[in-house]
Every structure is written in C-alpha cells, then in structure tokens.
A = this chain, B = another copy of it.
Amino acid sequence: MPLIQLVAEKIKEHAMVTAGETIVVGVSGGADSVSLLHILYMLKDELKIKLVVAHLNHRFRGAEADADAKFVSELAERWHLEAYVESRDVPAYKNTRGVSAQVAAREVRYNFLSEVATKTGAARVALGHHADDQTETILLHFIRGTGTRGLRGMLPVRDNFFIRPLLTIRRKEIESYCKQHGLAYRHDASNDKSKYLRNRLRLELVPLLESQYNPNLIQAINRLGEIIREEDEYLDQQAGKAYRQAKLASGGGTVRLDRDRLLAIPLALRNRVIRMAWFEICGDSDDLEYKHINKVLEIIKGGGGYRQIALPRGVTCVKNYNLVEFTINHAKEAIPFYQYLINIPGITPIPEVGMSVGAQLLAREDVPELSGAEPWEAFLDYDSLSMPLVVRRRLNGDRFMPLGLDGTIKLKKFFIDNKIPVNIRNYIPLVVSGADIVWVAGQRPGDKWKVTDETITVLRLYINDYGKNSCIS
C-alpha cells in the first residue's frame, strides 16, 4: 500500500483530525517532518483540513540551525502555507530550570507548538515521530526501568491534541518516500554524535540487537507497545473505578481514601490507585517512584493506628486506622507568577504547577447532566465569554463571582470560606477573561457564564483528566 494511503488509514483509525480543522505541523526540516508535511499536504483536501507550519530554532546549533529555519520558511512559502518560524533561547531556559538540554528543548518546543495552535485557532499539532523513534523510546524505558506505562511508548494521539500520523512507519520507508517524491530535507548532524544516550541507542544498540538477536526488532517492539497500550488503558479504567470507590473526599490539596476499600483492590491496580491520588494533588506523576509507592502500600497494609510518611514535593501520606490521607504542603512562594493563553479546543500546559488546562467545545445536547460535573472540570456558556481566555496565578486584589452568588467577593474571602489552606492558594490556576475570573480551577466556575437553556455551545474546561488519562506523558 502506498505510504500516503497507509497514513490516511492511521489518521482515520485513531480519528486524528476532524473536517474543518486547522492542524499545526511541527517541521524540523528533517526527512520525517518534511514527509509528514508532504503527506498531510497531499491529503488536506480529502480530509478538509488547513495546514500551518511551525518551526522552532532551539539556538543550540548556531548557523546550521539558522539554515534549517530558512529551509522550512522557504518550503512553506513554496507550498503557500502559513508558517511560524521562531527562535527561542533554549540554552538559557535549560540553565534557569536546571534540566538537561533534551528536556529543555522538549518543554520549550511543546509550549511553542501550543502557542502557535492558539494563535491560529488550530485544533491539533501533528508531530513526525515514526516507528524507529517509537522503538527507541520503548527500549530506553525498558532498559532504564519502568512500569507498564513506559513500555507503551508514545501515543498516536495524546491529550486529543498532539497527533503522530507516522508512528507505525519505518524510517527507511520515510526516506524512500522523500526520494520518490523528490523531497529535499535537512540533516541534523547532532543526531550522529553518540554523546547523547538516545543517539547511542539509535546508532549502536538498535543495530546490534537487529543484527545479533532479532532482525525484526522494530516490528516486535512496536507490536509490544501496541499490546501494552491497550492493556494499560484497560488497567487505568479499572483503577479509575477503584479509585473513585475508595475516595472519601478530596480538594484543597488533600485526598482522603478508605483503607479497607484500598486493601480490597487487586494488587495489580493498587499502585495505579496510589498514583491517581498523587496525581490529583500534584497534577502530574513526576517524582513519584516505585519505592515511594511501595512505602505507601506498606503503611496501608501494616496494622496499628497512626502512621505517617514523607513523599517527594512536600506530600505526606498519613494512615490513621481506616483513613488514608495524602496532603501536599506547598510553600506559598514556590509558584512564580505565570500567564498563558488557553488553547480552545486543546491543552495548555502550566509547567509552573505541573498541570494543564484542557478545553473542549460541545453542543448543548452533548452535555448530559451538569450536576455530574467533578471539581476538576467546568461547563460554561461559550458564546457569553469574551475571548481570549488566559490561565494565570492569582494576584492580590482578585475578585470573583462564584456560581450561585449574586455579587463579587474577594478571591481571598472565597478561599477562606471554602477552607483552602493558605499554602496551596498560589497553586490553584485561575481561568480569566479580561478582569473576570471565569473558573477557580478545581473549585468553582463563575456565575456569569453558567450554562442555561439558551446555551448553544458549551465550553468544557478541565484540569488533567486523571480519571480517564491518569498521567500526562
């Protein structure tokens, strides 16, 4: 089957795009992203999508990187595509945040792509990861130690926002596609240096395993990834049910669970349930390691009354007879001020608090029961909102009109009335339109935009939908 058709089928299989949407394509200039752009270009009329090109210069490779940027700009111009080509100081970001070059590049790039999506009203961002990349990801997770989660590899669709149409295609197929269609592309020389672990894996380990142990390595590992992905999703669903059953209360940086119900959960799900509790108060799964989960499981299993353990990020877990309680102790000054435009529809990461805000547009009739809304989601009347929406940390003097109230009150008073501890208040993202607080995330939406019988389009906002998708990967 020709590659274009194969990719078209994958796009259909995973419902990667919807007719009428704008798609941002991340183009580095390499063979994979150039052919991704070309394939989507060939399919754009059939899929009824509009393409926007996005390229980021990470400022790690000087003149060479400038030439890449020029190459992508010219490509977009030749194909008459709108393009956003920008340069950001990733080396500085790396130093400020104290992370590796790869992590810095990844964070800045994903933020950049989300921003381009916001500016252009795009619903998704397409990325050029292919089957060989996937093998490397899974292999690396396997060798470095991981639970099931790492073995599933990258997702074809992540957060309903990032899509990877080439994920099952081999690198050599992509290269011969470029050859066949006369597509020029840039070669990133830093990929040839075996200094980086990832490059060493690609240049040395994968070829060794292919020649000495299994010529079909890529196929075998990617198939495993697919199986694990399905199983992982199923296990998460089951764990999500168990978590909701074991939960007594949550909010204000605390989750309370029923110990007897925790103990009744099958062993295979119990560590996922602990992870979900962590996720609910921390907003991601970083820093929670296997050994921490084991410590928690130990005090849950152990007899006696009161036991307390300290976990990373100032989280404590207390067991007190039949109660198990996780609490996060955020220092007030730990969260710097931040402000981001919200992608609608889409996901907006807030690295400062390790959370993200998701936004979805729904027809009124697709929102069955508003009383069923959980604290981590809000349903609003889309047409009565003034755009753009922004998510930011609170500021002194913020005022708020909570759902059900007639006038505005100081946000501070709202926090006090709702018993939100001082030390977590800076941790709560506010969704804001102009000077109005639209949603105090995890707490209460504003009254002004409530869904009524007249509402036509509903905006669903949510903080990391952990019930369905327990970890952001």
Contact = CB atoms under 8 A, between A and B. Distances in A.
Given A200-B212, A213-B197, A267 B145 contact: no
Say whether chain A's binding surface is mostly helix, strand, loop, or mixed: helix
Contact of A145 (B216, B238, B266, B290): B216
Interface in A232-249: 233-235, 237-238
A216 B142 CA distance: 12
Contacts of A268: 230-231, 233-235
A227 B144 CA distance: 15
A146 interface: yes
Contacts of A266: 234, 237
Given A235-B231, A268-B234, A142 B145 contact: no
A144 B213 contact: yes
B267 A224 contact: no
A233 B268 CA distance: 8
Interface in A204-223: 205, 208-209, 212-214, 216-217, 219-221, 223
A217 B148 contact: no
Nearest to A145: B220
A225 to B, nearest CB: 11
A208 B207 CA distance: 14
B269 A228 contact: no
A147 interface: yes
Interface of A: 140, 142-148, 151, 197, 200-201, 205, 208-209, 212-214, 216-217, 219-221, 223-224, 227-228, 230-231, 233-235, 237-238, 266-269, 271, 290
> Which 3 A/B pairs are nearest by Cβ-Cβ distance?
A145-B220, A234-B268, A230-B268
